[in-house]
Amino acid sequence: MDNLINLMKEKYPTFSKGHKAIASYIINHYDKAAFMTAAQLGKEVGVSESTVVRFPLELGFDGYPELQKKLKELIKSKLTSVQRLEVSSSRIDRENVLKSVLHSDMNKIKMTLEEIDEENFNIIVEEILNAKHIYILGVRSSASLASFLGFYFNLIFENVRLVHTTSVSEMFEQVLNAREGDVVIGISFPRYSRRTTKAMQFVRRQGATAIAITDNPNSPLAKCANYSIFARSDMNSFVDSLVAPLSIINALIVAIGLRKKQQIQDTFEKLERIWDEYQVYEKDEE
């Protein structure tokens, strides 16, 4: 996505005065421009709305919405937490934070549902079911997603290894033996973890099947995976929204669980006896 900024810099000398003003503002404030309407951007830089609407055509885009989409993809991977907080302060209704965030999360699940590739999802389910060993990678905010997936996969499979460590060397040590016939599931959302991407590149070279759970095809993780499944995770603030990714992971667990229903039933019958014996859960007492 840096190519977009570079493209504007390269074409800058050929722009009209108005388009130079727009380009300068976007290059220096792309974090804010991504969420402005054409009218707002025009007012900010002192040009007409129609001048802003014509500007994306100079860059080879079909229109302003396409340019805005590219800018939003750029900020997801580039903004620091401080910049995210600044951008979000102008997008969230401070008087209704709870409703704003919940509605935003609902929209992310809705968009994920509309964009999901069911055939690809089913292929991923088959790859996981047929794997000799399953490795799950997730660090930083994605560690919670990896832990959730790992918890349930450990109830379904006997060959699962959850890898979420703060050490780069430890991550490679834990996936060292991943090879052909194994599946490695990497989870990463903006700001993408370089550790997870490097580990996925490594296991794919080893011959393992790399499956990415990420947000879009341009994600560094998707580029080094055999299969990818995408979930929306656009930020609300400095916090990553992981509602849609968790829903995708939940769907994976359920789909695999339905295929291994009898085995899971046997497992839970054993576990219930153990949980009762060791009083793992609270019991309602009459």
On whether residue 31 sits in a domain, the answer given is yes
Q: How far apart are CA 279 and CA 186, in angstroms?
A: 35
Domain with 35 in it? 2-78
On whether residue 84 sits in a domain, the answer given is no
Closest by CA position to 244, among listed 229, 223, 258, 225: 229
Q: How far apart are CA 59 and CA 10, in angstroms?
A: 10
Final residue before a domain boundary, out of 78, 95, 123:
78
Question: With pLDDT > 70 as the criterion, what percentage of the chain qualifies?
Answer: 88
Q: Are residues 157 and 229 in the same domain?
A: yes
pLDDT in tens, 186-210: 999 887 888 899 999 999 999 999 9
> How does residue 101 score in pLDDT terms, banded at 50, 70 and 90?
confident
Final residue before a domain boundary, out of 37, 59, 78:
78
Question: With pLDDT > 90 as the criterion, what percentage of the chain qualifies?
Answer: 49
Higher pLDDT, 92 or 262: 262
Sheet holding 160-163, edge to edge: 160-163, 134-137, 183-187, 209-214, 227-230
Q: The domain that contains 157 carries what CATH number?
A: 3.40.50.10490
Cβ atoms of 188 and 200 within 8 Å: the answer is no
On whether residue 102 sits in a domain, the answer given is no
Q: How many domains are contained in the chain?
A: 2
Tallying the residues shown for the chain, one arrives at 286
Q: The domain that contains 19 carries what CATH number?
A: 1.10.10.10
Q: Are residues 119 and 70 in the same domain?
A: no
Q: Report the 10 Å Cβ neighbour count for 255.
A: 16
On whether residue 202 sits in a domain, the answer given is yes
On whether residue 157 sits in a domain, the answer given is yes
On whether residue 11 sits in a domain, the answer given is yes
Q: How far apart are CA 247 and CA 110, in angstroms?
A: 11
Q: How far apart are CA 96 and CA 98, in angstroms?
A: 6
How is 104-154 classified by DSSP, letter by letter? HHHHHHHHHHHH--HHHHHHHHHHHHT-SSEEEE--GGGHHHHHHHHHHHH
Non-local (6+) Cβ contacts of 151 within 8 A are: none
The model's pTM is 0.70
Q: Are residues 254 and 123 in the same domain?
A: yes
On whether residue 63 sits in a domain, the answer given is yes
pLDDT at 266: 81
Given a cut of 60, whether residue 81 has pLDDT beyond it is: no
Q: Are residues 178 and 252 in the same domain?
A: yes
